Amino acid sequence: MEVAGKNIVIVGMARSGLAAAHFLHARGARVTINDAKPEEALAGIEALRRIGIEVVAGSHPRQLFETADCLVVSPGVPLASEPFAWARAAGVEIIGEVELAARFLKGRIVGITGTNGKTTTTTLIGELLGKAGLPVLVGGNIGEPLISLVEQSRPDGWIVAELSSFQLEAVDQLHVNVAVMLNITPDHLDRYDSMDAYAAAKSNILHGQTAGDVAILNADDPRIAAMSHLTPAQTIYFSPTRQLAEGLFRRGEKIVERRGGVERELLTTAEIPLRGAHNLENVLASLAAGLACGAAIDSMRQTVSRFKAVEHRLEFAGEIDGVSFYNDSKATNVDAAIKSLEAFPGGIIVILGGKDKGSDFSPLRQLIEERCRHVILIGSAAEKIGAALAGTRPLQRVESMAEAVRRGFELSQPGDTVLLAPACASFDMFDNYEHRGRVFKEEVGRLAAAPRNPR
């Protein structure tokens, strides 16, 4: 992609947009960043202008979209909005930061998508390849934007990329050598008008593949299993619940690969330190990706056995007087919250709530009744969640994370678990789910340090 002298507009001044702007400016493009937020809500504008990057804030001027040579859209900006219709009518190319990066990255790409488990799987695959001695970089929706990895990439290396549906909306020629599809459950229905539209965005990870590539698909997810016809790549299925004719699966306490009628045991479930049945799904997908990339199984077995939970994903946050605290702030949808609750046998005081994404919270009812003592509600969705869970367990509304942690501890007994599994986005009270998780852990730390009356 030749960018020198081109008029390129970056839409969205978030992390990936800024990274793309600096990358393109360094290669001689005439770069403009456009964001609907007013200038006073954006940081770093003067620094951008000093190096020659123009900033247009507060609106999306029609002329800007119609006269660009290329628009690079940030994941948080919906492609269905009107300014992109203006650009399409004018024949302007529209790509995302992921697509931009893929045109410059050297090496091969492992792409991971799905509603839940992306970050754990992406992190684990990165460690599986790195500990096996393969050159690897990790980024995308986790850590560094992919465009920031271009200079470090090398022809003999692997780029392991977490890819969200928002990122995959804006790809056209993305070629993923190893595509991993974990699961598709209701999420982001405030952005997509149907589950079919949401699943279609996810499926874009498969469209640029060739016959020499690999697609790793969850055999237990009907939407994903039905997508094999979308790619000419070799398909490898995985299942944590049943034996497969071909693929990776659990049989008793063994993780087994079956290929061409030949079986081999890869490791035992006892060697997997991660809590929760959903993490078995993540490990199976990661092992399949590692094998596809050429990692040795002995090395991968050691790496899996030493792998720790990723921050904000069923992360142990401390114990106070026999009560455990777990931070699953990344449980930003109902299915993720269900998986979080399933990871504990009972005695749960769960903290739910945040910004609603058009979710139906009623699927939580059964697990709330079976495993929870109390439900603590926070955030703008508290009333909706409370209505959906009425008649299950005692519900209490609180106004802050500090109050939620303190009240959770007061309602607990030794042996119980206070679990942050919000089932919602974080943007009503926090900058992002990481901020929410950090505040939860900080409040647990404060509670642990505070003097308490004996129980």
The answer, yes or no, to whether residue 98 has pLDDT greater than 90, is yes
Percent residues over pLDDT 90 in the chain: 88
What is the predicted pLDDT for the residue at 453?
66
What token pair was written down for 293?
């990339």
What is the predicted pLDDT for the residue at 78?
87
The answer, yes or no, to whether residue 246 has pLDDT greater than 70, is yes
What is the predicted pLDDT for the residue at 308?
86
Write down all domains in the chain, each with its CATH number in brackets. 7-96 (3.40.50.720), 105-306 (3.40.1190.10), 315-449 (3.90.190.20)
pLDDT band at 172 (very low <50, low <70, confident <90, very high): confident
pLDDT band at 277 (very low <50, low <70, confident <90, very high): confident
Q: Per-residue pLDDT tens for 370-395?
A: 999 999 999 999 999 999 999 999 99
The predicted model gives 237-248 an average pLDDT of: 96
What is the predicted pLDDT for the residue at 125?
98
Percent residues over pLDDT 70 in the chain: 99
Axis crossing angle, helix 118-131 with helix 297-306, rounded to the nearest 10 = 130
What is the predicted pLDDT for the residue at 213?
98
Q: Return d(Cα 117, Cα 332) in angstroms, integer.
A: 11
Catalytic residue among 141, 279, 282, 327: 141
Distances (CA, A) of 33 to 64, 97, 109, 149: 10, 13, 28, 21
> Residue 255: beta bridge partners?
250, 267
The answer, yes or no, to whether residue 201 has pLDDT greater than 80, is yes
pTM (global) more than 0.85: no
Catalytic (active site) residue 333: no
Q: Return d(Cα 306, Cα 381) in angstroms, integer.
A: 38
The answer, yes or no, to whether residue 76 has pLDDT greater than 90, is no
Q: Return d(Cα 200, Cα 77) in angstroms, integer.
A: 17
Are 133 and 60 within 8 A, CB to CB?
no
Mean per-residue pLDDT of the chain: 95
Catalytic (active site) residue 188: yes
Q: Per-residue pLDDT tens for 284-339?
A: 999 999 999 999 999 999 999 999 878 888 899 999 999 999 999 999 999 999 99
Cβ-based neighbour number of residue 164 at 10 Å? 20
Cβ-based neighbour number of residue 135 at 10 Å? 15
Catalytic (active site) residue 218: no
The answer, yes or no, to whether residue 454 has pLDDT greater than 70, is no
The predicted model gives 344-361 an average pLDDT of: 96
pLDDT band at 48 (very low <50, low <70, confident <90, very high): very high
Are 104 and 175 within 8 A, CB to CB?
no
What is the predicted pLDDT for the residue at 313?
85
The predicted model gives 199-213 an average pLDDT of: 96
Catalytic residue among 34, 60, 116, 118: 118
The answer, yes or no, to whether residue 455 has pLDDT greater than 80, is no
What is the predicted pLDDT for the residue at 193?
86
Distances (CA, A) of 262 to 244, 246, 300: 12, 9, 20
Catalytic residue among 60, 188, 339, 357: 188
Nearest to 171 by CA among 83, 72, 269: 72
160-164, 305-309, 415-419, 420-424: the lowest-pLDDT one: 305-309
